[in-house]
Structure 1
Amino acid sequence: MSSESQPVTLADLQRWFSTERMSTYVCSAQTTDCDVIDLYVWNGRISKALLEDVAHVEVLLRNFMSKRLARACEHEDWYRDDARFRFNSSKTKRFETSVTEIERQVRHSGKPVTSGRVIADMSLGSWCFLLSSRLEQTVWRALRDPANGGMPNYPSRKRAVFESHVKTMRDLRNRLSHQEHLVLDNLADENRYLDGQCANLDWIARVIDPKAADWIRSQSRVTAFRARRP
């Protein structure tokens, strides 16, 4: 008998993926009266759909920030302009180190180092760092400066609020990337969590470019998958 025709049971998933991991889905399935395996499969699929949306917003964010910082210093490798932006403190040069490591990896891959490749390989954590309070007078000032393009869709231009939204996106991406569950024991709490995460992604995209936000929403598969929850 082929493996495809053999029924898969909860015991199989517990053996493959651990009893501890499956316990979340067992509890949630009991409270919502659904099949544990169906719920586990659904969680994986909606996680990937959310990751698609996160990817769109993350690329939108980095291009938005990179363009304004490049305009501020009038060259594409703005990430090397420590004299202007003061990325590195006297105690640590973590940002400079991360950029150097990206450049090393690009060279190792046999490709020429370009600003586009460096920027594309920066982690979401690096973009959060660029939005931190210690860089408010340098990076944030350049981002909101109308001479560099400004933030016409974000009239309050409050750095801490913007940073908070981006950190929430980072935490969501980390959760999804580490295969953590989205299902919760309480369905109302689960819906509130997903509503909040979707609203957060839309908020970030919308304050950058409302047209881009509309497009990302139109392409999203999240609403369709939420409607199919077991």
Structure 2
Amino acid sequence: MSLPYSTAQRWLSPHRLGVYMTVTSGDSHAALELYEWNAEVASACLRDVGHFEVIIRNRYEERLTPHQSDWTAKSSPLWVAENGIEQTRRKQRYSNRKSRDALDRALQDAPQATPGHIIANLMFGFWASMTRSERESTIWTPILSGIFPGKGRGPIHDQMTKLNNFRNRLAHWEPVFSNTTGLEFQLRKFDELFTLVDNDVANWVGARSTVLDTIDECPVPGLSLSVSSYLGRTPTDAE
């Protein structure tokens, strides 16, 4: 089934469709095929990122609960903790307020929610914010650092932040072949982070992942991305 160009333009917007039209030299049918492939790659990546999101929030919960049993409550002492110089304290107050706001949003639809429900309702950005520089002494060093053996807070925060941005771009069907998305680089960094947190789970997810297979199905010759390895797999494994 073909879709008239005018309909596709109204659906996707001239700007969004134009990205695909440029890559396919103005062939509207090929542009829509590429757009569909892009959505399939994004969906495959989101599946794997979703598995990571589950494990990271559970690893964080395992560390946070023994330290502060009521940490899922916005009234918890964890979200007012501050120390150091005044400049650092200002940043800690800001981050603490943002965390309380996130917990409040997680409770909006279920005021009587259990801690487990609250954790499941928290966005990935909440977990990424836990490794901000001002939280090195209040959260990273005493609580979370053991989740990432041999790694400092800075590199982990950088990876978590980039993964959150990548996740958001995927969720909005942004072009995976663009320099902004940088799919090959993003997948490599995601692989490193997942493997660091739990190599066994990363390999289990990788064995079932459709990311490599879907990338190889790119309908535009020469556009397909080269990913040397991913969650324990190589392109040969995907064949």
State the TM-score, normalizing by the size of structure 2. Answer: 0.77
1:177-218 deviation per Cα after TM superposition (whole angstroms, max 9, x unaligned): 22322233xxxx69x922211112211211111101111211
Q: How far 1:91 moved relative to its partner? A: 9.4
Q: Name the counterpart of 2:165.
A: 171
What is the identity, as a one-letter code, of the residue corresponding to 1:137? S
Q: How far 1:86 moved relative to its partner? A: 1.8
Q: Name the counterpart of 1:25.
A: 20
1:108-162 deviation per Cα after TM superposition (whole angstroms, max 9, x unaligned): xxxx3211011111111111111111111121113356xxxx33xx432300100
Contact preservation (8 Å) 2:131, 2:139: yes
Q: Does 77-86 or 217-226 show the bigger shift?
A: 77-86
- Output the CA distance in 2 between the equivalents of 1:143 and 1:84: 14
Residues 163 and 67 of structure 1, relative CA distance in 2, 3 Å threshold: same
Q: Name the counterpart of 1:3.
A: none
Q: Name the counterpart of 2:85.
A: none
Structure 2 residue ranges without an equivalent (≥5): 83-91, 220-239
- Output the CA distance in 1 between the equivalents of 2:21 and 2:2: 18
Contact preservation (8 Å) 2:45, 2:211: yes
Correspondence 1:78 to 2:60: no
What is the identity, as a one-letter code, of the residue corresponding to 2:93? S
State the TM-score, normalizing by the size of structure 1. Answer: 0.79
Contact preservation (8 Å) 1:53, 1:216: yes
Matches within 5 A, 1:60-99: 60-73=55-68, 75=69, 77-80=70-73, 81-83=76-78, 86=81, 89=93, 93-99=97-103
**Residue among 48, 53, 61 paired with 1:58:** 53
Correspondence 1:121 to 2:121: yes
1:48-91 deviation per Cα after TM superposition (whole angstroms, max 9, x unaligned): 11111111111111111111111223x2x324432587276189
Q: Name the counterpart of 2:236.
A: none
Q: Name the counterpart of 1:131.
A: 131
Matches within 5 A, 1:1-230: 7-30=2-25, 35-73=30-68, 75=69, 77-80=70-73, 81-83=76-78, 86=81, 89=93, 93-107=97-111, 112-144=112-144, 150-151=146-147, 154-184=148-178, 193-230=182-219
What is the identity, as a one-letter code, of the residue corresponding to 1:118? I
Helix, strand or coil for the counterpart of 2:24? helix
Contact preservation (8 Å) 1:53, 1:201: no
How many positions carry a matched residue from both structures? Answer: 207
- Output the CA distance in 2 between the equivalents of 1:173 and 1:92: 23
